[in-house]
Amino acid sequence: MTDAGRDGTTELRYRLNGYSGNEADAHIQIRSFDRPARLKRAAVGLATWWAVAIGCVFIPVAHFFLVPGFLIFGMVTFVQRLKTAAVVVAARGTCPDCGADQDLDMLGPWRGPQDVSCRQCHRSLQLSEGEESP
C-alpha cells in the first residue's frame, strides 16, 4: 500500500467513494519530516516572514500594520510547521461519478482520510482507505 522514496516521500493508495456509491482509485504522495527536518522547515518559515516584516519597515504608514502582522504570521507559521509531521506533495484520482482523472485539491498538511471535490462534476468525494483494486 505504500512505497517509500529517497526524500521521505511515500505514496499511499486510497479509494474515492462518490455520490453514486461507485469507487475509484486515488494516489497520494506525502512527505514526512522527522524532528530535525521540522525544526529546520519551521525556522525557514519564521525567517522568511520576519525578513518580509523588516522589508516593510520602509513603507510609509502601512508599516504600522504590516510589520506587526508579518511578525505574528511568522510565529504562527513556525508553530504550524513545527507541529506538521507530513504534508501532501501530490494527489491524483479518478472521480467515481463522472470518470474524470484529475489532481485532487488537498495539498498541505496530511490529515488522513478526508473529503475532496471533483473539479469536473463538483460532487463531494470521500477519500478512504480500502483494498487495492486488481
Distance between CA atoms of residues 53 and 98, nearest Å: 46
Query: What pLDDT, on a 0 to 100 scale, did the predictor assign at position 14?
Result: 87
What residues pair up with 10 in beta bridges, in sequence order?
A: 4, 30
* Residue 133's pLDDT band (cuts 50, 70, 90): very low
| Cβ-based neighbour number of residue 124 at 10 Å | 12
Digit-coded pLDDT (tens) for 103-112: 888 878 887 7
Q: What is the pLDDT at residue 116?
A: 87
Residue 113 grid cell? 482520510
Q: Is the pLDDT of residue 8 over 90?
A: no
The Cβ of residue 99 has, within 10 Å, a number of other Cβ atoms equal to 12
Range in 17-21, 50-54, 56-60, 90-94 with the lowest mean pLDDT: 17-21
Residue 50 is predicted with a pLDDT of 97
Q: Are 75 and 48 in contact (CB under 8 A)?
A: no
Cα separation, 51 vs 61, whole angstroms: 18
Residue pair 71/46 in contact (Cβ under 8 Å)? The answer is no
CA distance 134 to 55: 55
Q: What's the pLDDT score for residue 134?
A: 36
C-alpha 7: how far from chain center: 17
d(CA 130, CA 108): 22
Characterize the bridge pairing of strands 108-109 and 23-32. Answer: unpaired
Residue in 44, 12, 20 with CA at minimum distance from that of residue 95: 20
The average confidence (pLDDT) of the chain is 86
Model confidence at 41, pLDDT cuts 50, 70, 90, reads very high
